[in-house]
């Protein structure tokens, strides 16, 4: 859930640009410096939002709360923000991932949009397979 929250936080700045029509669409938030700052914000807010979400979805009980470890929260947030910058760097010419060191984007068109979509889809299938395999293993202990 923190990974997903980090994705939302990453795209707040582009959303504001789309709504107002002012600014650089993939600006500072889509640099690795910006992603680092947003990962920290996402982790600090996402931990508590995720724990509340677990209660709302009935996966955590008030008498036996599921606590998400801080290392998991920060790992998820950094994977979320850094992968977002990488994938958007490949898809969008205006992303400057290594700003302020350079304004170049050497990742642009490294893969086609179709290849990126397939990569994400296959990664999701692999992740789901690992998840369900681990669930099966834990139930059969």
pLDDT at 62: 73
**Domains in the chain: how many in total?**
2
Range of the domain at 123: 111-141
Same domain, yes or no: 96 and 118:
no
pLDDT in tens, 52-93: 999 999 888 877 888 999 999 999 999 999 999 999 999 999
Same domain, yes or no: 83 and 126:
no
Percent of the chain surpassing pLDDT 90: 89
* Cα 80 from chain centroid (whole Å): 2
* For residue 37, pLDDT beyond 80: yes
Same domain, yes or no: 51 and 120:
no
Same domain, yes or no: 88 and 115:
no
Close Cβ partners of 109 (under 8 Å, ≥ 6 residues apart): 90
Distance CA 74, CA 79 (A): 8
Distance CA 94, CA 103 (A): 9
pLDDT in tens, 114-124: 999 999 999 99
Same domain, yes or no: 63 and 118:
no
Distance CA 65, CA 49 (A): 13
Same domain, yes or no: 126 and 116:
yes
Lowest-pLDDT choice from 41-50, 63-72, 92-101, 102-111: 63-72
Instruction: Give the SS3 label for residue 64.
Output: strand
Same domain, yes or no: 8 and 33:
yes
The whole-model pTM stands at 0.89
């Amino acid at each position: 859930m923190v990974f997903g929250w980090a994705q939302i936080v990453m795209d707040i700045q582009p959303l504001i640009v789309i709504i107002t029509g002012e600014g650089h669409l993939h600006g500072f938030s889509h640099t690795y410096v910006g992603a680092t700052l947003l990962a920290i914000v996402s982790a600090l807010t996402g931990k508590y939002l995720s724990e509340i979400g677990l209660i709302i979805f009935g996966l955590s009980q008030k008498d036996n709360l599921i606590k998400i470890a801080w290392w998991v929260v920060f790992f998820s947030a950094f994977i979320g923000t850094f992968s977002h910058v990488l994938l958007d760097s490949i898809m969008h010419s205006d992303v400057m991932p290594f700003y302020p060191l350079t304004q170049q984007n050497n990742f642009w068109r490294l893969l086609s949009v179709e290849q990126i979509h397939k990569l994400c889809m296959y990664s999701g299938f692999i992740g789901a397979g690992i998840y369900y395999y681990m669930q099966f293993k834990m139930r059969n202990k």
